[in-house]
Structure 1
Amino acid sequence: MKTILKICALSALLMGTSPQAKEVELDRVAAVVNSGVVLESEVKELIANIKTQASKNDQSLPSDKALRVQVMDKLINDQLIAQIGERMGIQISDAQLDQTLTNMAQGNQLTLEEFRQSIVSEGLDYEKYRENVRNELVSGEVKRNSVRRRIYISPQEITNLLSAMKQQTNNDIEYRLGHILIEFPPEPTQEDMNAAKERADKVIELLNKGSDFTKIAIASSGGAEALKGGDLGWKNINEMPTLFSEIIDGKDKGSVFGPIRTGLGFSIVKILDIRGRQIVEVEEINSRHILIEPSIILSDAKAEQMLKEFREQILAGEADFGEMAKEHSDGPTSVKGGELGWTDPKVWDPAFADALAKLKIDEISMPFRTSFGWHIAQLTGRRTLDATQQMNENRAYQLLYKRKFSMESARWLKELRDEAYIEMMD
């Protein structure tokens, strides 16, 4: 509410300084979310961005009214998650943000400057885009921290999935799914559920008549991916919720299924595309590192300089890498001389994996930054790993985790909204 009072006070100060001055609305509150607000300017900006992207992709959109409802839902969710992030003390430093943007640029085969120019050429404000990425990083961390503790995967579940995977003949098939969720309100009555079922049936009817799935998802879906047209991305049959996988298995592209009753409402699913699963040969690397974590009394520049000096001493034969790690590293592996052991690099921070990928055996990297701090790392081995029982178990665990994370994330967000004070302003 302090934020609201500040906005009101500022408006009064700017608009009420003279009896003859014409009142000009600078901004207004679109929704109150607990102690925070969603501003009308934020709503208009997001709607404009969605329309710009839809125009470039030749994609149709629902009415402005339906689009505004979905945008408001997203911004309210973002505000709730940001408030939790603030209470948790989650912060993304400029160095972490720059590293993420660099990784995004490299993913598009661009330099950071070229990436910035591409953002500007699309009519977007780069500084705002940068802060949106920061907010997304905070949001992701909040979701992981909050949802992860709700997930338990028993050894028996892994055994059961491994057994099922051995019997399947379509493990190499991936489906790109579209999802529309017709939500139940909090504590729904039978009348509410009947009304949701009628809406879901109407959506199915429209889709079967050839209506655009993306447009209907943006207009009607209560799912987290609504503004992306309900696109759930590519999923193996074992990554989907069980209710979906049992219906979709073996079906053709373009098939529509539903309504499927869940705890959140009625789901409608469409197979947007099908492909053979991309098989990537797994490589493990052996490495060790020294980590220096910046702090209030140790700047990023000082941490980087310390590691440069350590590297020079090691290369000159004046110091041993393992001993330096034991003495100076802030990482949990310091007691083992910084040894990370044989690891699939995909489990690491992307910046760490990228730095190791560029090294030759026994080469020591220059200092580099990740979300954990500053590192120097040495690559000590590289090997291609065959498909072992352990790998299969890890894969089964990840499949189960992704499946449960998706469901629990939706439940967590619904509970968050149900418990929050939300007031929409006319």
Structure 2
Amino acid sequence: MMKQQLKRFFKATTIALCISAATPVFAATSDEVVAVVGDNAVLKSDLDQMTINLGQQLQAQKQPIPSDKALRQQALNTIVLQQAQLDMVKRYGIKPSDAEIDAAVLKYAQQTGANSLQEFQTRLKSANAYALVRNRIAQELAVNVLRQQMVMSRIKITDQDVNNFLNTPQGQAAIGSQAHILHMRVSGADSQQVQEIANQVKLALDKTDNIIELNKEFSQGTVKVDGADMGYRSLSDIPAELAARVTTLQNGQTSELIPAADGIHILKLLDRKTSDKKMMVTQYHTRHILVQTSEVVSPEQAKHKIGSIYKRLQAGGDFSKFAETYSNDPGSAAAGGDLGWVNLGMMVPKFEEEMQKTAVGQLSQPFQTQFGWHILQVLDTRQQDMTKEYQQRLARQFLGEQQFTPELNNWLRELRANTYVDIKDPSLK
């Protein structure tokens, strides 16, 4: 295992758009086939439902509704793109973990007023209904990952692009100021109603800073409006996806609607002021020995081997020589297991947990991650000024967000053009 394989890769940007909650589940019924997408049939019932969903979305957004024929063609195009993406998800083997799906379903359940998955299942009154919701959310997560991978691979941001941005007024604001922000969140089970009320909240927030009154005025039924005055915050203390939005605002300006898993967010910038705060990060100079399972090494044999190495190290064995001889991480084994200076967030959670609780100069107990069995040793710790690295990451976040939506649209157009579609219903041609 290379050293880089230990790293936990985070999303390059969090602005990828999830597929609509109205994703149809292609039912195994005998109703009319109106089109074929790849190897999948599109049923008239699926198309009818998607047409209704699109009409309701346009109505909620106060957009003109096209003719019935045009709306059905648009609905078919939506289904085609969704099915094409699901086919790619299957082809590339993209599958969210059960834990990720459970967490996403729980968030959705909480938006409907349920406090737990069990309560949510009880409200649905059917194991089949719960399975359909869970499957739909799993598809959304997988397609979101697919879009991230496909679109971010097309976006090229050079070091020069980052430096140029940091020299602009927007860049300077991002790295050298604190922002006084009002933060509104609109959430609820009915996505169309949430969208409509979020638009109303944004218009009201343009005219007032009284978030308490906005909370009272717009919270209704199952839709909840939460507002908070965040006070002056360094941009380094704000989630990067929100900080990138703040950098584009002028004093008194309100952001566009920001969709997220827990609702729709709206920000209003009240003021900026200069900050000299540095971002200090604890770093750990760490080395490790890794024993992996393989076709010839069973899990029990790997566990026994790491335990034997641990006993020999405790008896005074040379860590560097043992790493060179026994470690299955070729990226660090040649350096005696040395991983260099490690920041939190670079390694998988279990590795970081052991690293943080191991005293300098001491050995950790053998522990297991998805990569195998480890022993680690922390050689030293230090406080490192990572302000410049944070500023560069924020710049890449901002530039990536600027490019993501146009590049996503380009990719979707190319995907649609390259997808085999056989339209059976003449009225859809």
Give 1:161 shift: 1.8
Whole-angstrom distance in 2 between the partners of 1:176 and 1:411: 32
Contact 2:104 2:137 in 1 (8 A): no
Q: Out of 127, 150, 155, which is 1:146 matched to?
A: 150
Query: Residue 344 of structure 1: CA displacement?
Result: 3.0
Give CA deviations for 1:24-80 in whole Å, capped at 9, x if unaligned: x45665653233345678789999999xxx9xxxxx899999999998766543422
> Could you list the per-position Cα deviations for residues 219-241 of structure 1 after superposition, in whole angstroms to 9, with x for gaps in the alignment?
xxxxxxxxxxxxxx97668735x
Partner of 1:249: 250
Deviations 1:288-337 (A, max 9, x none): 45556667x479xx34x344324422331256665555434256444334
Three-state SS of the structure 2 residue aligned to 1:317 is helix
TM-score by length of 1: 0.52
Say if 1:212 and 1:239 are closer, same or farther in 2 by CA, change over 3 A. same
8 Å CA contact retained: 1:38, 1:79: no
For 1:6-405, what aligned pairs fall within 5 Å after superposition? 25=29, 29=33, 31-37=35-41, 76-87=80-91, 89-92=92-95, 97-98=97-98, 100=100, 116-117=117-118, 120-121=121-122, 123=124, 131=135, 135-136=139-140, 138-164=142-168, 165-166=171-172, 172=179, 212=197, 239=244, 248-253=249-254, 272-274=266-268, 282-289=281-288, 297=295, 302-303=298-299, 305-317=300-312, 322-323=320-321, 325-326=323-324, 327-330=326-329, 332-349=331-348, 353=352, 362=362, 364=364, 367-370=367-370, 373-376=371-374, 378=376, 380=378, 381-405=380-404
Question: How many angstroms does 1:417 deviate by?
Answer: 1.9
1:345 alignment partner AA: L
The percent identity for this pair of structures is: 20
Shift of 1:135: 4.1
* Count of matched residue pairs: 316
Please tell me the root mean square deviation across aligned C-alpha atoms, in Å: 5.6
| Higher relative contact order, structure no. (Cα contacts within 8 Å, ≥ 6 residues apart) | 2
Structure 1 residues 312 and 349: CA distance shift in structure 2, 3 A? closer
1:409 matched to 2:414? The reply is: no
Report if the CA contact (8 A) 1:77-1:413 is conserved: yes
Q: CA deviation at 1:105?
A: 9.7
Partner residue of 1:219?
Answer: none
Listed one character per residue, the Cα deviations across residues 100-156 of structure 1 (whole Å, up to 9, x for unaligned) are 458779999x9xxx9653553453756556655654554344334422332222222
Aligned-partner residue type, residue 372 of structure 2 = W
Report if aligned partners of 2:240, 2:394 keep a CA contact under 8 Å in 1: no
- The match for 2:215 is none
* Aligned amino acid, residue 120 of structure 1: Q
In 2 relative to 1, CA 424–252 (structure 1 residues): closer, same or farther, beyond 3 Å?
Answer: farther
Q: Report the Cα distance in structure 2 between the residues aligned to 1:32 and 1:62, rounded to whole angstroms.
A: 32
Q: 1:312 to 1:62 in 2, by over 3 A?
A: farther
Distance of 1:351 and 1:44 partners within structure 2: 48
Instruction: Structure 2: give runs of 5+ residues left out of the alignment.
Output: 1-27, 186-194, 201-237, 258-263
Q: Distance in 2 between matches of 1:68 and 1:408?
A: 26
CA pair 252-393 structure 1, distance change in 2 beyond 3 A: closer
Aligned to 1:397, what secondary structure does the other structure show? helix
Letter aligned with residue 415 of structure 2: L
TM-score, length-scaled by structure 2? 0.52
Kept in 1, the 8 Å contact 2:244–2:394? The answer is no
Equivalent residue, structure 2, for 1:204: none
Does the 8 A contact of 1:253 with 1:272 survive in 2?
yes
SS at match of 2:167: helix
Query: Which ranges of structure 1 fall in alignment gaps of 5 or more residues?
Result: 1-10, 12-24, 55-59, 179-209, 216-232, 257-269
